[in-house]
């Protein structure tokens, strides 16, 4: 199969879909890999490294898409890329369609088969292609939020860690999954107090055992007075997830008024529409805005800040699924691997993903009825 790896064109997206090492594996398996020129530079990989592994360097985006059968990307196709898709293409990347009806409509109209990293599962129902980026995003969320608390960044001037016997900063985290637990790791490591809101008792108990610290508290929604808690915290991290669906709105516009001026909101769920009513996407070049005196950090591709690490982690996780898609026709690959089938979002001009359909209030089709 001809596998194409285009250069990412979303703002400040420095990752690339495949590392040279994974490209070599695919070529050894008999596939052809086409790389858009300079696609790997943002992650520290030169054209020469890919060529040494057997990839062909394509200088024209039009030529790349014209030759491609399987397109392996990182972020969702941008309008220029969508315009080049056709029914002969399989697109494999993060899609985050739930909050983006326009992109959903455009991909349906293209006729391409589109598979979302973020809804592929493993045998335990976990999300193996979302996990590595969630680990990175969770760690960077606290790191970025701590920077935003600095006075020069518009923040309150609070240091998360305690010094000179002073009370440490206080971080509130919504969601105790991969993002939330990694955010808590870093916040506790910085010396902050952490309150984490998690709906499932078993998970709360697991996190309490994991951290075993008087600076860590895990609560359910029923156990807290949100307005009182908001008045006490310096940073709020939104890390709630509905796989494939729109993120739940956990803070209203009114809730912002209970936060102290210069407090920071970090919304890791911005790709799925965001956890906060005040959320709108930002970029690495302009990462923040201030609303009601609260600094908002809502970068839509947080892991791109550490593109080398993120590319290596993502390519390692995605490689078996790329190989499965390349080795056999799509319908056979999906039937052989139900976990891969869970990622199919669009095929033959039809919406397949139930979670996206629910978020957009539209119909969907079962993939096995149309492929």
pTM recorded for the entire structure: 0.95
**Same-domain check for residues 114 and 136:** no
Number of domains in the chain: 2
**Same-domain check for residues 101 and 146:** no
E strand map for the chain: 2-5, 32-36, 56-58, 70-72, 90-93, 113-116, 170-174, 193-197, 216-219, 235-238, 264-267, 288-291, 294-297, 344-347, 350-351
- 96, 170, 234, 255: which is the annotated catalytic residue? 96
pLDDT for residue 162: 87
**Same-domain check for residues 166 and 33:** no
**Whether residue 96 lies in the annotated active site:** yes
- Are 332 and 97 within 8 A, CB to CB? no
**Same-domain check for residues 205 and 350:** no
> Structural domain of residue 193, as residue ranges?
131-300
**Same-domain check for residues 261 and 337:** no
pLDDT for residue 123: 94
pLDDT along the chain (371 residues), means of 10: 98 97 98 98 98 98 97 98 98 97 98 98 95 98 98 97 93 98 98 97 97 96 92 97 93 97 98 97 97 97 98 98 98 96 97 97 95 88
**Same-domain check for residues 211 and 333:** no
Q: Pick from 273, 300, 327: which residue ends a domain?
A: 300
**Same-domain check for residues 177 and 136:** yes
Beta carbons within 8 Å of 362's beta carbon, 6+ residues apart: 351
- 31, 234, 271, 296: which is the annotated catalytic residue? 271
State the Cα–Cα distance between residues 354 and 340, nearest whole angstrom: 15
**Same-domain check for residues 14 and 31:** yes
Q: How far is CA 361 from the centre of its chain?
A: 23
**Same-domain check for residues 212 and 361:** no
- Are 289 and 260 within 8 A, CB to CB? no
**Same-domain check for residues 114 and 137:** no
pLDDT for residue 312: 98
pLDDT for residue 186: 98
* 344-347 and 350-351 strand pairing: antiparallel
**Same-domain check for residues 204 and 251:** yes
With H, G, I as helix, E, B as strand and everything else as coil, classify residue 154.
coil
| Paired residues of 351 in beta bridges | 346
DSSP annotation of 8: P
CATH of the domain at 77: 3.40.50.720
**Same-domain check for residues 38 and 106:** yes
Q: Pick from 282, 300, 318: which residue ends a domain?
A: 300
In a 10 Å sphere around its CB, with 0-12 CB exposed, 13-18 middle and 19+ buried, how is residue 41 labelled? middle
Residue carrying structure tokens 């390349």: 326
pLDDT for residue 271: 94
Rounded to the nearest 10 degrees, how much is the dihedral formed by the CA atoms of 243, 88, 348, 355? 10
Number of helices (H), then strands (E), in the chain? 13, 15
Q: Pick from 278, 300, 322: which residue ends a domain?
A: 300
Using alpha carbons, select from 131, 105, 54 the residue that is nearest to residue 310: 131
């Amino acid at each position: 199969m001809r596998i194409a790896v285009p250069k990412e064109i979303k703002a400040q997206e420095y990752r690339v879909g495949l590392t040279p090492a994974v490209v070599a594996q695919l070529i050894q398996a008999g596939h052809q890999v086409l790389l858009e020129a300079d696609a790997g530079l943002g992650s520290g990989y030169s054209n020469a490294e890919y060529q040494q592994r057997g990839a062909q360097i394509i200088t024209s985006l039009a030529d790349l898409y014209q030759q491609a059968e399987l397109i392996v990307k990182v972020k969702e196709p941008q309008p220029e890329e969508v315009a080049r898709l056709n029914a002969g293409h399989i697109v494999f990347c993060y899609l985050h369609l739930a909050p983006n009806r326009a992109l959903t409509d455009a991909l349906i109209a293209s006729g391409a088969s589109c598979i979302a990293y973020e809804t592929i599962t493993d045998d335990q129902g976990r999300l193996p292609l979302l996990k590595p980026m969630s680990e990175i995003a969770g760690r960077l969320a606290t790191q970025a939020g701590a920077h935003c608390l600095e006075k020069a960044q518009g923040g309150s001037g609070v240091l998360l860690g305690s010094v000179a016997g002073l009370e440490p900063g206080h971080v509130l985290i919504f969601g105790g999954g991969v993002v939330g637990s990694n955010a808590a790791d870093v916040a506790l490591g910085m010396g902050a107090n952490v309150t984490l809101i998690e709906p499932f008792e078993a998970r709360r108990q697991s996190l309490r055992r994991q951290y075993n610290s008087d600076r860590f508290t895990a609560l359910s929604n029923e156990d807290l007075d949100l307005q009182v808690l908001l008045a006490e915290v310096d940073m709020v991290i939104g890390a709630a997830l509905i796989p494939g669906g729109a993120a739940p709105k956990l803070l209203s516009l009114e809730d912002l008024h209970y936060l102290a001026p210069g407090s920071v909101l970090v919304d890791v769920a911005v790709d799925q529409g965001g956890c906060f009513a005040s959320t709108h996407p930002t970029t690495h070049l302009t990462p923040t805005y201030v609303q009601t005196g609260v600094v908002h950090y809502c970068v839509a591709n947080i892991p791109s800040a550490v593109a080398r690490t993120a590319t290596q982690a993502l390519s390692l996780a995605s490689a078996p699924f790329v190989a499965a898609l390349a080795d056999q026709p799509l319908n056979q690959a999906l039937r052989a691997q139900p976990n891969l089938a869970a990622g199919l979002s669009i095929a033959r001009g039809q919406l397949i993903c139930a979670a996206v359909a629910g978020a957009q209030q539209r119909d969907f089709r079962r993939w096995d009825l149309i492929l």
